Amino acid sequence: MLRYTSFPPREHWLPWLVLAALLGLIYFLLLAVGAAMGLAAAAALAFTLRRLWAPTVCEIDARGVGVGLWKVRRRVYWDEIGRCRVGSHGVVLLPSSSSSSGYHTAFGLYLPFADHRREVLAMIERRVRRTT
């Protein structure tokens, strides 16, 4: 079993760039549409980008893969995963055609590597077909 925590601001520069762009956009919205609408838009943007700033707990074991963001946990079993796409900072687990759980059917389940790239790939590639 492998259990680790991924915290994107510590691992990559992208969350810092997004934060700078978000602050600039909030400033622009406050000037353009007023305080109430600008703050509402800022809250919506912050909510959609929360995954860039929240620690994600990842767990890979014999039953499947679990990912948790704050108190929300999602578990996907190995027989529901059909293939995977490996990226530079993580892997996307895509559902099999016979999966009935409906987990992220359009996008898959993203599993960040954090500092465990080699271990994560070894555990996943034993059970899942890799696609490019």
Q: Which residues pair with 16 in a beta bridge?
A: none
Reply yes or no on whether the pLDDT at 104 is more than 60: no
Q: 114: helix, coil or strand? A: coil
The answer to whether residues 127 and 62 touch, using CB atoms and an 8 Å cutoff, is no
Reply yes or no on whether the pLDDT at 58 is more than 80: yes
106: its two tokens: 């359009």
- Strand order, beta sheet including 109-112: 109-112, 90-95, 81-86, 129-131
Total-model pTM: 0.66
Identify the band that residue 130 occupies on the pLDDT scale cut at 50, 70 and 90: low
Distances (CA, A) of 55 to 9, 58, 69, 80, 85: 9, 10, 7, 25, 22
The predicted model gives 94-118 an average pLDDT of 71
The predicted model gives 100-117 an average pLDDT of 70
Distances (CA, A) of 78 to 5, 18, 56, 73, 101: 21, 33, 20, 16, 12
Q: What is the pLDDT of residues 21-48, one digit of tens each?
A: 878 887 887 788 777 877 787 788 777 7
- The pLDDT value given to residue 106: 57
- The pLDDT value given to residue 92: 85
Reply yes or no on whether the pLDDT at 12 is more than 80: no
The answer to whether residues 119 and 73 touch, using CB atoms and an 8 Å cutoff, is no
